[in-house]
Homo-oligomer: A and B are copies of this chain.
Amino acid sequence: MTHLKSTPPRRLHLNVNILHSGFVPSAWRLAEADPLAFINVSHYVRVAQIAEAAKFDAVFLADNASIADQIDFRPITALEPTILLASIAAATSHIGVIGTASTSYNEPYNIARRFATLDHVSGGRAGWNVVTTADLGSARNFGREAVPDHAERYARASEFTSVVKALWDSWEDGAVIGDKTSGLFVDTDKVHPVSHRGPHFSVQGPLNVPRSPQGHPVLVQAGASGDGRELAARHAEAVFSASQSFDESLAYGRDLKARAAAFGRGPDAVKVLAGLTTVIGSTEAEALRRRDELVDLIPWSYSLTRLAGVLGVSPDRLKLDEQLPDNLSLPGQGNGNHTFFHATLAQSRQHGYTVRELIRALAGGGGHRVIVGTPEQIADDIERWFNAGAADGFNLMPDTLPGGLQDFVDGVVPILRRRGIFRTDYEGATLREHLGLARPENQRLWRKSA
């Protein structure tokens, strides 16, 4: 007879971030890769099906509203996430579908509607990753000559997200009656305008979509700055962190949960999922070899430019076979590279790396933490972070796709299961259920009863 437990065990959450051919910029050059995978829906569906077979929580799609990379050397985020996720949802049954959309270059009514629709067509598996979009190229595609400043972007994002949530709540659960006998289709007493008038938006509502299966799609955010953390603390239900170290991630999670508490939200209301690039080999030496082979397939001029961009210096100041220059100045807190800059610098100094060695150590330098090793080593790291509360889960960014994900699923997942920290099957049907998040009450009902 098993013991009854009063609370269910904490569960590890795993997402896969489907960045076309993988996180190492040269992934498209491998023999098994299709260079056109980045615009081939079958590729994304295949990756999602591998993740679903392994019972992952969700697939995640990043996004951008410009060509923000050097396309002569590598694929970009091209296909619009919500449409791609609808395609993925049609070919899967359980896995969550989280897509990125910008609050700076959209309207709240459209975003509320698209993600509510995605929640309906996926049967309650949708999540929206809220971003403010900081690149100049995107600004210039939407009538601006400069990027709106950080505070302005976050003020708009905060109002935007509040309006979207109000629109999602504009239909009460059960508003659709559909009584064939009486002819009553909707109980209009349960459908409400939102009547929002704010500094950035005026939105009358209601939304023209009934409340969706999850109450509303899961809100995801990745803010690292002070403004970003406030936005996450107020609204986010899952956060993708870019923490580079265990201590940093632990501190990040504690800070975020304290900020969330100030908004009256409990410690389980926000899950911290840490970004993690994996390079897997059957021995550590094999994994390191794989990493170096992949990195050496990236044109060095590309890698130099990318690293220089992160460090905020001109590429000609970096010499491949010398160490980093001494006098690098820290990018501002508003810069998404702030954390990465610190970690990169520390790593470089600690090991006395040349620029070439540093680029290899960063697996090309994607901005997230990299683990290179055996399945056992990776499982150890994940277990340590998870058990200590440095993360509730991971947003995996495999070196190559689908290969790097398949290696993770075949090698790491069985170990995590043997250790009892990752599910062997889905226990629920919705993304909220996978993440252990409550279905949100309708704010309007809640206000009525307050």
Contacts and interface: CB of A to CB of B under 8 A. Distances in A.
Contacts of A176: 35-36, 39
- Looking at chain A, what size class is its interface with the partner chain? 35 or more
Contact of A117 (B76, B84, B186): B84
A117 B184 contact: no
Nearest to A33: B180
A226 to B, nearest CB: 29
Interface in A134-153: 137, 140-144
A79 interface: yes
A75 interface: yes
Contacts of A144: 202
A126 to B, nearest CB: 10
Nearest to A79: B117
B297 A74 contact: no
Given A84-B121, A90-B87, A176-B36, A209 B110 contact: no
Contacts of A31: 180
A185 interface: yes
B83 A114 contact: yes
Contacts of A86: 83-84, 86-87, 90
A41 B121 contact: yes
Contacts of A87: 86-87, 89-90, 121
Interface in A22-44: 26, 28-31, 33, 35-36, 39-41
Q: Which of A28, A74, A83, A143 has the most chain B CB atoms inside 10 A of its CB?
A: A83
Nearest to A200: B143
A185 B82 contact: no
A178 interface: yes
Given A114-B83, A191-B71, A66 B208 contact: yes
Given A79-B121, A183-B297, A39 B210 contact: yes
Contacts of A443: none
A263 interface: no
Copies of the polypeptide in the assembly:
2
A18 interface: no
A233 to B, nearest CB: 28
A312 interface: no
A140 B109 CA distance: 10
B28 A202 contact: no
Contacts of A33: 180
B208 A78 contact: yes
A144 B107 CA distance: 13
A68 B204 CA distance: 13
A299 B184 CA distance: 10
B140 A204 contact: yes
A65 interface: yes
A71 B185 contact: yes
A186 B36 CA distance: 11
Interface in A288-319: 297, 299
A389 interface: no
A262 interface: no
Contacts of A191: 67, 71
A299 B183 contact: yes
Contacts of A90: 41, 86-87, 90-91
Interface centre among A71, A180, A202 (most CB of B within 10 A): A71
A120 B39 contact: yes
Contact of A35 (B30, B72, B105, B185): B185
A203 B144 CA distance: 9
A69 to B, nearest CB: 9
Nearest to A180: B29
Given A73-B185, A183-B299, A299-B183, A78 B209 contact: yes
12 contacts: A29-B180, A29-B183, A40-B120, A67-B208, A76-B208, A83-B114, A84-B86, A84-B117, A84-B121, A87-B87, A144-B202, A183-B299
Interface of A: 26, 28-31, 33, 35-36, 39-41, 64-68, 71-80, 82-84, 86-87, 89-91, 105-107, 109-110, 113-114, 117-118, 120-121, 137, 140-144, 176, 178-180, 183-188, 191, 201-206, 208-210, 297, 299
